[in-house]
Structure 1
Amino acid sequence: MSRHSIGAALLFALGAVPASALAEPHPDAERIVAIGGAVTEFVYAFGAGDRLVARDTTSTFPPEAMALPDVGYMRQLSPEGVLSMRPDLILAEEGAGPPEAVALLKSAGIPYEEIPSGASPGGVLAKADAVAEVLGVADGALRAALEADLTRAAKADRAIATPQRVLFVLSAQDDRLLAAGAGTGAEAIITLAGATNAVSGFQGYKPLTDEAVIAAAPDAILMMDRGDGATDPEAQKAQVLAMPAVTATPAGKAGRVIRMNGLYLLGFGPRTGKAALDLHRALYGGA
C-alpha cells in the first residue's frame, strides 16, 4: 500500500467507532477536572468550558483554560490535588498517570472517564465522539468541521509527488538530537502533512549519532515551540543548525528549521487538521 493510500485509509479507519463504546454520558456534571490538552480543548470546543473547575499542565489552549487551577502534569498526577477541586467528574485522556494515582482516583467514588488517545485522523474523530458522549452534547457541527479539515489535509498529502523528509527533534542536548521514530505523534503529524519521517528503524524517541543524522538526510527539521518563555526559539534554532552533523544535511544547508506550538502540533485535538495543513504549507508553500 502506498504512503498516500495509507494516509487516506487512516482518515476513516476509526471514524465509525461508536461513542457509546468509548465512554459513559455525564450530562449533569458541573465540576469537571480535565486532564490532557486535547481533552480540555474539546470541552471548550463543545461550549462546555464553564463546567471545568481545573485542568492539567498540558492544557494550555484556549487561553481561558490558563485561568483554571492547575492540578499538575498529566503523567505525574497527585490524587489529593485532583480531589481537592471537589470534582463530580474526572475526564482524562488515556495515558494519564502514574498508574497508582489513577487507581486511587478511580476508587474515590467520583466518575472517572478515560478518553482514548489517538494520533491518527480516525483516532482524533473518535476522541471528539467520546468527549461529546461524556458531556452529553451533540458533536455534529464540530465533528463535521474537524473531518473537513482532516480531509483537506489528506487531499494535500495526495497532491505531493515527492514527499519531503522531515526530522522531528524533541530536544538538542550535549550535541545530540533526540529524534522521533516510528509510532510517535510526531511521525503521525508529519505523515498527515504529506511528508515522511526522515528516520526509521526504532520506536519512540532516540538520541541520534552524527552518522545517523547525516544518513537521515532531512529536508527540514521540525521542533516544538513550547511557548513557556524558558527557551529562546531563535537561540535553539541556531544551536541545532550549528551542529556539524546537521550542517551536512539538506535541512542544515538550507537553514530549514520549522517550529510550531507543541499542543497545536501534537495535541491531536480539534485543531489537528489545521495543524497538518499549516505544516504542509511550511514544507511545500502555498496558501
Structure 2
Amino acid sequence: MLAATAGAALLVALGGCATTAPAATTSPTTTGDPSVPLSQLDVLDDPRSYVGESTAVLADSGIPALPAPEQNLPVTVTSHDLDGDREVTVTTTDRIIPMDLSGSIAATVFGLGLGGSVVGRDISTTFAEAADLPVVTSSGHTVNSEAILALRPDVVITDGTIGPIDVVLQLRDAGIAVVFVDTDPSIDGVGELARQVSAALGAPAAGEELAGQLVSGIEAKVAEIAEIVPAGEPLRMLFLYLRGSSGIYYLFGAESGADVLITSLGGVDVAAELGFSGSRPMTDEAMVAANPDLILVMTDGLASVDGVDGLLASKPAIALTAAGQHRRFVDMADGDILSFGPRTAGVLDALARAIYAPGQ
C-alpha cells in the first residue's frame, strides 16, 4: 500500500491530472459490421481524445480449416519436454486432445482439418466447432487427468503452459503419446506451431500449407491496419490481466504475446518499453510510469472487477492514467484475444476496429 506521500507523487507524475475518470460520452460500444473493410471505416482522427470503452468481437467464431489431410502413420517426432527433448511415436490419431493456455493448439488442429478427431478441450478452447466437447481442465487451467483418461486419447498435444506438469507426465506413463510443442506468441510462431502439430499428426504437408496461409494472412492484416492508423505519435497501449475475485492484476510485457498484438495494431507496448518481460504483478508505480492511452483486457477479467467503474474505483492509479481518465479500455473474449493461430488475423481485425473506429 502506498503512503500518503507516495500518493501525492502519483498526482505529480501525471501533471496534476484529475483523480477520477470522466463519465463516458457514449454507452460502451461493440465493434460493428466486420464485412466492411478497414479501409472503409470512418476512423478516429485522434484516438487519444475518444472517451468510452469498446468490445472487440471476432467476425466469425469458427476456425477456417483445410480439407482433411492425408496422414502417414506411425510417425516419430521430437517432443520438446520440459525435462529435455525426447522421441515420441504416434501410431494413431483417432482421438486427439490438444491443450494449452490460449487454445492455440486446438485451433491449429482444427485448422489442419483434423478437428473431427478431437475428443476433449481445455477451458481456453472456446471457438464454435469445439463448444460441445468435454472440458478436461478444472479450477481454471488445471489438468484433470481422470477426465482425460476417461476420453481414451491416442495422443495429447500440449506446450507445458497448463499443468501441474507431473499430471501431464502421468498421462505419458499411462501409455498415451504426449507430444510437447513450442507455442511462441508471434507471427512466425503461428507458422512454426502449424508445422510442429502437423508433424505430430503425420500430416507435414498440410502443416506447411497452413503455415503459409496463416503467416501471409496475418502479415496482410498488419499491413491493412497500418493504413488506418492515424498519423502522429502512436497510441501507448498496455495489456492488463485481471482476475478480481483472486486479487490478480498483472501487466503483460515483452514475449507475452500482448507485445505482438500491440505492435501489430500500430501501438507502443508501454510495458515492454519499461523493460517488463512476460507477466508481472501490477503496482501503482508501474501503472503511473506506463501511463497508457489505452488498456487491453479480457472480457471476463473486466467483468471480474465489476467493469470499468469497478476497476477505476478499486485501482485509483489506473484512474490517474490517460486511459483511466478517458475510460479507454478495449476488451475481448478471454479465449480469443491471445490466441495465436488460425484466428490471429481475425483477432487483429476486431481489435483494430474497436481501437480506431469504435461502434462501426
Q: Fold conserved (TM > 0.5)? A: yes
* Native 8 Å contact 1:153 1:193 kept in 2: no
Higher Cα Rg, which structure? 2
1:244–1:266 distance in 2 versus 1, CA, 3 Å: same
Q: 1:21 to 1:27 in 2, by over 3 A?
A: closer
Question: Who is 1:57 aligned against?
Answer: 123
Letter paired with 1:278:
A
Residue in 2 aligned with 1:163? 234
Q: How many positions carry a matched residue from both structures?
A: 264
- Equivalent residue, structure 1, for 2:298: 224
Deviations 1:49-87 (A, max 9, x none): 2111212222222x2312112211585223333222111
Deviation string 1:66-113 (CA, Å, 9 cap, x unpaired) is: 211221158522333322211111122343422211222222222112
Instruction: Identify unmatched segments of 5+ residues in structure 2.
Output: 1-75, 80-87
Q: Aligned pair 1:182/2:254, yes or no?
A: yes
Does 2:104 correspond to 1:30? no
Name the SS for the 2:131 alignment partner: helix
Structure in which a larger fraction of residues adopt helix: 1
Matched residue of 1:119: which SS? coil
Partner of 1:252: helix, strand, or coil?
A: helix
Instruction: Give the Cα separation in 2 of the matches to 1:144 and 1:257.
Output: 33
Match of 1:168, SS? strand
- Which one of 92, 96, 103 corresponds to residue 169 of structure 2? 103
Q: 1:219 to 1:211 in 2, by over 3 A?
A: same
| CA deviation vs aligned residue, 1:172-196 (integer Å, no higher than 9, x gap) | 6499843223331222322222212
Give yes or no for contact 1:167–1:180 (8 Å, CA) kept in 2. Answer: yes
Q: Structure 1 stretches (4+) deviating beyond 4 angstroms? A: 20-27, 156-161, 172-177
Range moving further from structure 2, 43-52 or 204-213: 204-213
Q: After superposition, give the CA deviation of every residue in 1:131-169 in whole Å (9 maximum; x if it has no partner).
A: 222233323553333122211244256655532111211
Following TM superposition, by how much is the alpha carbon of 1:223 offset from its aligned partner in structure 2, in angstroms? Answer: 0.4
Q: How does 1:1-287 map to 2 (within 5 A)?
A: 26=90, 28-36=92-100, 37-61=103-127, 63-73=128-138, 76-137=142-203, 138-139=206-207, 141-156=209-224, 162-171=233-242, 173=244, 177-199=249-271, 200-226=274-300, 232=303, 235-242=306-313, 243-285=315-357
Relative contact order (alpha carbons < 8 A, sep ≥ 6): 1 or 2 greater?
Answer: 2
Structure 1 stretches lacking a partner, 5+ long: 1-19
Give the direction of change, closer, same or farther, for the CA distance of 1:211–1:272 in structure 2 (3 Å limit): same
Structure 1, 79-88 or 115-124: larger mean CA deviation:
79-88
Q: 1:22 to 1:190 in 2, by over 3 A?
A: farther
Cα 1:268–1:171, aligned 2, differ >3 Å: closer, same or farther? Answer: same
Give the RMSD, CA atoms, in angstroms.
3.1
The one-letter amino acid paired with 1:71 is V
Aligned-partner Cα distance in 1 for 2:223–2:150: 47
Change (3 A) 1:178 1:191: same
Q: Output the CA distance in 2 between the equivalents of 1:145 and 1:189.
A: 19
Task: Look up the equivalent residue of 1:239 and give its one-letter code.
Answer: G
Contact 2:77 2:199 in 1 (8 A): no
Taking the aligned partners of 1:142 and 1:277, their CA distance within structure 2 comes to 19
Once the two structures are overlaid, the 10-residue window that deviates more, 173-182 or 243-252, is 173-182
SS in 2 for 1:117: coil
Relative distance call for 1:194 and 1:22 in structure 2 (3 A) is farther
Q: Distance in 2 between matches of 1:72 and 1:124?
A: 24
Shift of 1:122: 0.7
Q: Secondary structure at the match of 2:180?
A: strand
